[in-house]
Amino acid sequence: MHNGWDTHVSMMAIESFTATRKGQPTPPASGFKDNDNSELQQVSLFYGGRLADHWGMLGQVTYSQNGGLLGWDNTDVRYTHNYTLGNGKGGVFGLSFNNNPTVSDVFQTAPAWMYPYTTDDLGYPPPATPAIMGGFEQQVAGMTAYTMFDGSWYAEAGFYRTLSAALLNRLNAGFNGRIVGAAPYARVAYTRSVGSGDVEVGGFYFDARQGQIGSDARGTPISIPGPYNAYRDLGLDASYQFLGSGRNIFTCNGLWVNEEQTLNGTYSRGGSSNLRNTVDAVQLNGSYWFDNTYGVQMAVFRDGGTADPVLYASRTGSPTTQGSMLEVDYNPFGKSTSWHQPWVNLRLGLQYIYYTLFDGAARNYDGAGRNAHDNNTLYGYVWVAF
Protein backbone atom coordinates (compact mmCIF):
# COMPACT_ATOMS: atom_id res chain seq x y z
CA MET A 1 0.00 0.00 0.00
CA HIS A 2 1.14 3.58 -0.69
CA ASN A 3 -0.88 6.45 0.79
CA GLY A 4 -3.91 4.17 0.93
CA TRP A 5 -3.56 2.87 -2.63
CA ASP A 6 -2.84 -0.72 -3.71
CA THR A 7 0.51 -0.46 -5.49
CA HIS A 8 0.19 -3.98 -6.89
CA VAL A 9 -2.02 -2.57 -9.66
CA SER A 10 -0.62 -0.37 -12.43
CA MET A 11 -1.54 0.85 -15.89
CA MET A 12 0.28 2.04 -18.97
CA ALA A 13 -0.65 3.51 -22.34
CA ILE A 14 1.28 4.12 -25.56
CA GLU A 15 0.15 6.57 -28.23
CA SER A 16 2.26 6.31 -31.37
CA PHE A 17 2.82 7.60 -34.90
CA THR A 18 4.26 5.46 -37.73
CA ALA A 19 5.51 6.61 -41.14
CA THR A 20 7.36 4.56 -43.75
CA ARG A 21 9.63 6.17 -46.35
CA LYS A 22 7.21 5.05 -49.07
CA GLY A 23 3.56 4.28 -48.55
CA GLN A 24 2.59 0.63 -48.33
CA PRO A 25 0.79 -1.02 -51.28
CA THR A 26 -2.23 -1.60 -49.04
CA PRO A 27 -3.12 -0.28 -45.56
CA PRO A 28 -1.35 -2.28 -42.83
CA ALA A 29 -4.57 -2.92 -40.91
CA SER A 30 -8.28 -2.20 -41.07
CA GLY A 31 -9.11 1.42 -40.29
CA PHE A 32 -5.64 2.78 -41.15
CA LYS A 33 -4.09 4.55 -44.16
CA ASP A 34 -1.24 3.24 -46.30
CA ASN A 35 1.11 5.64 -44.46
CA ASP A 36 1.40 8.27 -41.71
CA ASN A 37 -0.75 6.52 -39.11
CA SER A 38 -1.34 7.45 -35.50
CA GLU A 39 -2.93 5.04 -33.04
CA LEU A 40 -3.60 4.22 -29.44
CA GLN A 41 -1.16 1.36 -29.75
CA GLN A 42 -1.52 -0.16 -26.30
CA VAL A 43 -3.39 0.27 -23.04
CA SER A 44 -2.46 -2.30 -20.40
CA LEU A 45 -3.57 -3.11 -16.88
CA PHE A 46 -1.12 -5.01 -14.66
CA TYR A 47 -1.25 -6.84 -11.38
CA GLY A 48 2.14 -7.61 -9.90
CA GLY A 49 2.90 -8.81 -6.41
CA ARG A 50 2.15 -11.26 -3.64
CA LEU A 51 -0.75 -13.71 -3.85
CA ALA A 52 0.04 -15.79 -0.74
CA ASP A 53 3.10 -16.99 1.16
CA HIS A 54 5.73 -17.87 -1.47
CA TRP A 55 3.29 -17.16 -4.32
CA GLY A 56 3.21 -14.12 -6.59
CA MET A 57 2.34 -13.07 -10.11
CA LEU A 58 2.71 -10.57 -12.90
CA GLY A 59 -0.45 -10.48 -15.00
CA GLN A 60 -1.34 -8.21 -17.90
CA VAL A 61 -4.37 -7.50 -20.08
CA THR A 62 -4.01 -5.24 -23.11
CA TYR A 63 -6.20 -3.27 -25.51
CA SER A 64 -4.92 -2.18 -28.92
CA GLN A 65 -6.57 0.08 -31.48
CA ASN A 66 -5.04 -2.15 -34.17
CA GLY A 67 -7.63 -4.91 -34.01
CA GLY A 68 -9.82 -3.16 -31.46
CA LEU A 69 -9.67 -5.99 -28.95
CA LEU A 70 -8.98 -6.40 -25.24
CA GLY A 71 -7.09 -9.61 -24.51
CA TRP A 72 -4.72 -11.26 -22.12
CA ASP A 73 -1.03 -10.50 -22.42
CA ASN A 74 2.13 -11.78 -20.73
CA THR A 75 1.23 -13.58 -17.50
CA ASP A 76 3.50 -15.33 -15.01
CA VAL A 77 2.31 -16.93 -11.75
CA ARG A 78 5.08 -18.40 -9.65
CA TYR A 79 6.04 -20.16 -6.45
CA THR A 80 9.41 -19.30 -4.91
CA HIS A 81 11.43 -20.34 -1.88
CA ASN A 82 14.92 -19.75 -0.55
CA TYR A 83 17.34 -22.60 0.14
CA THR A 84 20.77 -23.04 1.72
CA LEU A 85 23.23 -25.88 1.13
CA GLY A 86 25.62 -27.41 3.63
CA ASN A 87 28.50 -25.22 2.51
CA GLY A 88 26.51 -22.11 3.35
CA LYS A 89 25.76 -21.21 -0.26
CA GLY A 90 22.22 -21.13 -1.52
CA GLY A 91 19.73 -19.36 -3.66
CA VAL A 92 16.13 -19.32 -4.82
CA PHE A 93 14.11 -22.09 -6.45
CA GLY A 94 10.53 -22.27 -7.61
CA LEU A 95 7.92 -22.98 -10.25
CA SER A 96 6.58 -20.68 -12.95
CA PHE A 97 3.21 -21.02 -14.68
CA ASN A 98 3.24 -18.70 -17.70
CA ASN A 99 1.88 -18.15 -21.20
CA ASN A 100 4.97 -17.23 -23.22
CA PRO A 101 8.31 -19.06 -23.50
CA THR A 102 11.09 -16.84 -22.01
CA VAL A 103 8.64 -14.46 -20.26
CA SER A 104 9.78 -16.00 -16.95
CA ASP A 105 13.41 -15.10 -17.69
CA VAL A 106 15.37 -12.71 -15.46
CA PHE A 107 17.53 -11.16 -18.21
CA GLN A 108 16.53 -8.64 -20.88
CA THR A 109 18.35 -10.56 -23.60
CA ALA A 110 15.58 -13.20 -23.60
CA PRO A 111 13.24 -12.86 -26.62
CA ALA A 112 10.22 -11.88 -24.51
CA TRP A 113 12.10 -8.90 -23.02
CA MET A 114 14.65 -7.97 -25.69
CA TYR A 115 15.04 -4.58 -27.34
CA PRO A 116 13.11 -2.82 -28.82
CA TYR A 117 10.92 -2.48 -25.75
CA THR A 118 8.27 -0.86 -27.92
CA THR A 119 8.16 -0.49 -31.69
CA ASP A 120 5.68 0.02 -34.50
CA ASP A 121 2.96 -2.50 -35.33
CA LEU A 122 1.94 -0.76 -38.57
CA GLY A 123 5.25 -0.89 -40.43
CA TYR A 124 7.12 -3.80 -42.00
CA PRO A 125 8.00 -6.73 -39.72
CA PRO A 126 10.68 -9.23 -40.80
CA PRO A 127 9.24 -11.98 -43.03
CA ALA A 128 10.67 -14.79 -40.87
CA THR A 129 11.87 -15.16 -37.27
CA PRO A 130 12.38 -18.23 -35.06
CA ALA A 131 9.28 -19.56 -33.30
CA ILE A 132 10.61 -18.73 -29.83
CA MET A 133 10.65 -15.04 -30.78
CA GLY A 134 6.92 -14.55 -30.33
CA GLY A 135 5.52 -17.46 -32.32
CA PHE A 136 3.67 -18.90 -29.32
CA GLU A 137 3.19 -15.86 -27.08
CA GLN A 138 -0.12 -15.86 -25.17
CA GLN A 139 -1.17 -19.07 -26.97
CA VAL A 140 0.32 -21.58 -24.55
CA ALA A 141 0.29 -22.69 -20.93
CA GLY A 142 3.64 -23.73 -19.56
CA MET A 143 5.18 -24.90 -16.31
CA THR A 144 8.88 -24.50 -15.63
CA ALA A 145 11.10 -25.11 -12.62
CA TYR A 146 13.85 -22.58 -12.00
CA THR A 147 16.69 -21.76 -9.65
CA MET A 148 19.11 -18.90 -9.11
CA PHE A 149 22.13 -20.28 -7.24
CA ASP A 150 24.72 -18.22 -5.41
CA GLY A 151 23.53 -15.08 -7.20
CA SER A 152 25.34 -16.26 -10.34
CA TRP A 153 23.90 -19.41 -11.92
CA TYR A 154 20.39 -19.40 -13.39
CA ALA A 155 18.72 -22.54 -14.73
CA GLU A 156 15.15 -23.20 -15.87
CA ALA A 157 13.42 -26.10 -17.61
CA GLY A 158 9.85 -27.12 -18.36
CA PHE A 159 7.17 -27.78 -20.96
CA TYR A 160 4.52 -25.86 -22.91
CA ARG A 161 1.18 -26.94 -24.35
CA THR A 162 -1.23 -24.97 -26.52
CA LEU A 163 -4.50 -23.76 -25.06
CA SER A 164 -7.63 -24.65 -26.99
CA ALA A 165 -8.53 -22.52 -30.00
CA ALA A 166 -11.96 -21.83 -28.45
CA LEU A 167 -10.43 -20.50 -25.22
CA LEU A 168 -7.85 -18.41 -27.07
CA ASN A 169 -10.64 -16.90 -29.13
CA ARG A 170 -12.45 -15.85 -25.93
CA LEU A 171 -9.18 -14.40 -24.60
CA ASN A 172 -8.65 -12.53 -27.89
CA ALA A 173 -5.28 -14.22 -28.33
CA GLY A 174 -3.94 -15.53 -31.61
CA PHE A 175 -3.91 -19.17 -32.67
CA ASN A 176 -1.13 -20.34 -34.98
CA GLY A 177 -1.70 -24.08 -34.54
CA ARG A 178 -1.77 -26.66 -31.76
CA ILE A 179 1.45 -27.93 -30.19
CA VAL A 180 1.56 -31.71 -30.63
CA GLY A 181 2.26 -33.22 -27.21
CA ALA A 182 4.39 -30.87 -25.14
CA ALA A 183 7.19 -28.53 -26.20
CA PRO A 184 10.30 -28.71 -23.96
CA TYR A 185 12.11 -25.52 -22.97
CA ALA A 186 15.45 -25.14 -21.19
CA ARG A 187 17.52 -22.14 -20.15
CA VAL A 188 20.89 -21.67 -18.45
CA ALA A 189 22.82 -18.47 -17.75
CA TYR A 190 25.74 -17.22 -15.69
CA THR A 191 26.11 -13.69 -14.33
CA ARG A 192 28.63 -11.94 -12.12
CA SER A 193 29.63 -8.46 -11.04
CA VAL A 194 32.56 -6.89 -12.86
CA GLY A 195 33.73 -3.62 -11.37
CA SER A 196 30.82 -1.19 -11.38
CA GLY A 197 28.72 -3.37 -13.66
CA ASP A 198 27.74 -6.93 -14.39
CA VAL A 199 28.10 -9.41 -17.24
CA GLU A 200 25.84 -12.30 -18.34
CA VAL A 201 26.22 -15.16 -20.82
CA GLY A 202 23.65 -17.86 -21.47
CA GLY A 203 21.76 -20.09 -23.82
CA PHE A 204 18.30 -21.57 -24.34
CA TYR A 205 16.56 -24.42 -26.17
CA PHE A 206 12.99 -24.84 -27.42
CA ASP A 207 11.51 -27.72 -29.45
CA ALA A 208 7.91 -27.60 -30.70
CA ARG A 209 5.83 -29.67 -33.09
CA GLN A 210 2.93 -27.60 -34.39
CA GLY A 211 -0.19 -28.80 -36.17
CA GLN A 212 -1.91 -27.13 -39.10
CA ILE A 213 -4.74 -24.62 -38.88
CA GLY A 214 -7.92 -24.10 -40.84
CA SER A 215 -11.06 -22.07 -40.14
CA ASP A 216 -14.66 -22.75 -39.22
CA ALA A 217 -17.76 -21.34 -40.91
CA ARG A 218 -17.26 -18.02 -39.09
CA GLY A 219 -13.64 -17.72 -40.17
CA THR A 220 -12.27 -18.50 -36.70
CA PRO A 221 -8.94 -20.39 -36.74
CA ILE A 222 -9.20 -24.04 -35.66
CA SER A 223 -6.91 -27.06 -35.57
CA ILE A 224 -7.15 -29.50 -38.46
CA PRO A 225 -5.76 -33.05 -38.67
CA GLY A 226 -2.69 -33.89 -40.69
CA PRO A 227 1.10 -33.81 -40.51
CA TYR A 228 2.78 -31.25 -38.29
CA ASN A 229 5.68 -28.81 -38.60
CA ALA A 230 8.66 -29.17 -36.27
CA TYR A 231 10.69 -26.22 -34.98
CA ARG A 232 13.89 -26.67 -32.98
CA ASP A 233 15.41 -23.44 -31.63
CA LEU A 234 18.84 -22.97 -30.08
CA GLY A 235 19.90 -19.55 -28.82
CA LEU A 236 22.87 -17.80 -27.23
CA ASP A 237 22.80 -14.46 -25.45
CA ALA A 238 25.19 -12.13 -23.63
CA SER A 239 24.98 -8.75 -21.95
CA TYR A 240 27.05 -6.19 -20.09
CA GLN A 241 25.74 -3.31 -18.02
CA PHE A 242 27.77 -0.54 -16.42
CA LEU A 243 25.92 1.16 -13.59
CA GLY A 244 28.61 3.20 -11.86
CA SER A 245 26.99 5.75 -9.58
CA GLY A 246 23.73 5.50 -11.53
CA ARG A 247 24.23 8.78 -13.35
CA ASN A 248 25.81 7.31 -16.49
CA ILE A 249 24.52 3.86 -17.48
CA PHE A 250 25.78 1.82 -20.44
CA THR A 251 24.27 -1.45 -21.65
CA CYS A 252 25.30 -3.84 -24.44
CA ASN A 253 23.25 -6.92 -25.41
CA GLY A 254 23.63 -9.66 -27.99
CA LEU A 255 21.26 -12.42 -29.11
CA TRP A 256 21.65 -15.21 -31.71
CA VAL A 257 18.94 -17.78 -32.46
CA ASN A 258 19.06 -20.64 -34.96
CA GLU A 259 15.94 -22.60 -35.87
CA GLU A 260 15.83 -25.92 -37.73
CA GLN A 261 12.46 -26.49 -39.42
CA THR A 262 10.91 -29.69 -40.76
CA LEU A 263 7.76 -28.52 -42.53
CA ASN A 264 5.82 -31.77 -42.93
CA GLY A 265 2.47 -30.03 -42.71
CA THR A 266 3.22 -26.97 -44.83
CA TYR A 267 5.09 -28.95 -47.49
CA SER A 268 2.37 -31.59 -47.81
CA ARG A 269 -0.19 -28.86 -48.56
CA GLY A 270 2.01 -27.17 -51.16
CA GLY A 271 2.83 -24.24 -48.90
CA SER A 272 6.62 -24.49 -49.17
CA SER A 273 9.23 -25.42 -51.75
CA ASN A 274 11.42 -27.19 -49.19
CA LEU A 275 10.67 -29.82 -46.61
CA ARG A 276 13.49 -28.56 -44.40
CA ASN A 277 14.49 -24.94 -43.81
CA THR A 278 16.51 -22.90 -41.36
CA VAL A 279 15.76 -19.49 -39.86
CA ASP A 280 18.35 -17.37 -38.06
CA ALA A 281 18.10 -14.15 -36.07
CA VAL A 282 20.96 -11.98 -34.81
CA GLN A 283 20.71 -8.73 -32.88
CA LEU A 284 23.29 -6.51 -31.19
CA ASN A 285 22.09 -3.47 -29.28
CA GLY A 286 23.48 -0.89 -26.92
CA SER A 287 22.15 2.00 -24.89
CA TYR A 288 23.38 5.00 -22.91
CA TRP A 289 21.31 6.77 -20.28
CA PHE A 290 22.24 9.99 -18.52
CA ASP A 291 20.65 10.56 -15.13
CA ASN A 292 17.83 8.17 -16.13
CA THR A 293 16.46 11.08 -18.16
CA TYR A 294 18.11 11.23 -21.58
CA GLY A 295 18.73 8.03 -23.53
CA VAL A 296 20.19 6.87 -26.83
CA GLN A 297 19.64 3.30 -28.01
CA MET A 298 21.10 1.64 -31.10
CA ALA A 299 20.77 -1.81 -32.66
CA VAL A 300 21.80 -3.81 -35.71
CA PHE A 301 19.84 -6.88 -36.75
CA ARG A 302 19.76 -9.61 -39.36
CA ASP A 303 16.97 -12.16 -39.87
CA GLY A 304 17.69 -14.77 -42.52
CA GLY A 305 17.34 -18.38 -43.54
CA THR A 306 16.90 -20.84 -46.36
CA ALA A 307 15.47 -19.49 -49.60
CA ASP A 308 11.97 -20.87 -50.24
CA PRO A 309 10.10 -19.19 -53.12
CA VAL A 310 6.71 -20.70 -52.27
CA LEU A 311 6.83 -20.06 -48.51
CA TYR A 312 8.05 -16.46 -48.74
CA ALA A 313 6.45 -15.56 -52.09
CA SER A 314 8.95 -12.85 -53.00
CA ARG A 315 11.07 -12.26 -56.10
CA THR A 316 14.17 -13.70 -54.43
CA GLY A 317 12.46 -16.36 -52.32
CA SER A 318 14.77 -15.35 -49.48
CA PRO A 319 13.63 -14.12 -46.04
CA THR A 320 16.92 -12.34 -45.33
CA THR A 321 16.22 -8.91 -43.86
CA GLN A 322 18.78 -6.71 -42.16
CA GLY A 323 19.19 -3.17 -40.96
CA SER A 324 19.75 -0.93 -37.98
CA MET A 325 17.78 1.06 -35.43
CA LEU A 326 18.41 4.38 -33.71
CA GLU A 327 16.27 5.67 -30.86
CA VAL A 328 16.39 8.78 -28.69
CA ASP A 329 14.34 9.00 -25.49
CA TYR A 330 13.44 11.56 -22.87
CA ASN A 331 11.99 10.71 -19.46
CA PRO A 332 10.59 13.91 -17.88
CA PHE A 333 9.06 11.82 -15.09
CA GLY A 334 10.02 8.44 -13.68
CA LYS A 335 13.03 8.98 -11.41
CA SER A 336 13.14 8.62 -7.63
CA THR A 337 13.16 12.44 -7.39
CA SER A 338 10.40 13.01 -9.96
CA TRP A 339 7.15 14.84 -9.35
CA HIS A 340 4.58 12.52 -7.74
CA GLN A 341 7.02 9.61 -7.75
CA PRO A 342 6.25 6.69 -8.19
CA TRP A 343 2.82 7.46 -9.62
CA VAL A 344 3.66 9.46 -12.74
CA ASN A 345 6.06 7.96 -15.31
CA LEU A 346 6.42 9.40 -18.81
CA ARG A 347 8.70 8.65 -21.75
CA LEU A 348 8.87 10.42 -25.10
CA GLY A 349 10.65 8.40 -27.79
CA LEU A 350 11.62 8.69 -31.44
CA GLN A 351 12.85 5.57 -33.26
CA TYR A 352 14.09 5.06 -36.82
CA ILE A 353 14.48 1.67 -38.53
CA TYR A 354 16.79 1.60 -41.56
CA TYR A 355 16.72 -1.43 -43.88
CA THR A 356 19.65 -2.42 -46.10
CA LEU A 357 18.07 -5.71 -47.19
CA PHE A 358 14.46 -6.86 -47.24
CA ASP A 359 13.30 -10.25 -48.51
CA GLY A 360 16.82 -10.96 -49.71
CA ALA A 361 17.42 -7.86 -51.84
CA ALA A 362 18.28 -4.18 -51.56
CA ARG A 363 16.35 -3.21 -54.71
CA ASN A 364 13.11 -4.42 -56.28
CA TYR A 365 12.69 -7.17 -53.69
CA ASP A 366 9.02 -7.71 -54.56
CA GLY A 367 9.36 -7.59 -58.35
CA ALA A 368 7.16 -4.49 -58.42
CA GLY A 369 9.90 -1.91 -57.87
CA ARG A 370 9.88 -1.67 -54.07
CA ASN A 371 13.30 -1.27 -52.45
CA ALA A 372 14.45 -2.14 -48.95
CA HIS A 373 14.91 1.58 -48.13
CA ASP A 374 11.24 2.18 -48.96
CA ASN A 375 10.37 0.29 -45.76
CA ASN A 376 12.47 2.56 -43.52
CA THR A 377 10.21 3.44 -40.62
CA LEU A 378 9.93 6.50 -38.39
CA TYR A 379 8.16 5.71 -35.13
CA GLY A 380 7.36 8.26 -32.44
CA TYR A 381 5.62 7.47 -29.19
CA VAL A 382 4.38 8.80 -25.87
CA TRP A 383 4.52 6.17 -23.13
CA VAL A 384 2.84 6.86 -19.81
CA ALA A 385 2.68 4.51 -16.82
CA PHE A 386 1.16 4.96 -13.38
Per-residue model confidence as pLDDT tens digits over 118-146 = 999 999 888 899 999 999 999 999 999 99
**Residue 215 dihedral angles phi and psi, to the nearest 5°:** -145, 150
Give the burial string for 351-376 (b: 16+ CB within 10 Å, else e). bebbbebbbbbeeebbeeebbbebbb
Query: For residues 307 and 273, what is the distance between their CA atoms, to the nearest angstrom?
Result: 9
Q: Which amino acid is at 2?
A: H
Query: For residues 175 and 169, what is the distance between their CA atoms, to the nearest angstrom?
Result: 8
Q: Which amino acid is at 190?
A: Y
Mean local confidence (pLDDT), 1-20: 81
Q: Which amino acid is at 181?
A: G
pLDDT above 70: percentage of residues in the chain: 98
Residue 122 lies in a domain: yes
Residue 163 lies in a domain: yes
Residue 1 lies in a domain: no
What residues does 42 pair with on adjacent strands? Answer: 14
Residue 51 lies in a domain: no
pLDDT of residue 169: 86
Residue 116 lies in a domain: yes
Residue 82 lies in a domain: no
Residue 56 lies in a domain: no
CATH code for the domain of 323 = 2.40.160.10
- Interval 323-359: pLDDT, tens: 999 999 999 998 777 777 778 899 999 999 999 999 9
What residues does 329 pair with on adjacent strands? Answer: 295, 349
Cβ contact 132:71 at 8 Å: no
* Domains held by the chain: number: 1
Query: For residues 17 and 40, what is the distance between their CA atoms, to the nearest angstrom?
Result: 9
Residue 79 lies in a domain: no
246: confidence class by pLDDT, cuts 50, 70, 90: confident
Query: For residues 16 and 65, what is the distance between their CA atoms, to the nearest angstrom?
Result: 11
The number of beta carbons lying within 10 Å of the beta carbon of residue 237 is 24
Query: For residues 45 and 62, what is the distance between their CA atoms, to the nearest angstrom?
Result: 7
7: confidence class by pLDDT, cuts 50, 70, 90: low
Q: For residue 337, give its domain range.
A: 10-45+62-73+93-385
- Interval 285-319: pLDDT, tens: 999 999 999 999 999 999 999 999 999 988 999 99
Mean local confidence (pLDDT), 15-27: 96
Query: For residues 221 and 216, what is the distance between their CA atoms, to the nearest angstrom?
Result: 7
What residues does 120 pair with on adjacent strands? Answer: none
pLDDT of residue 292: 92
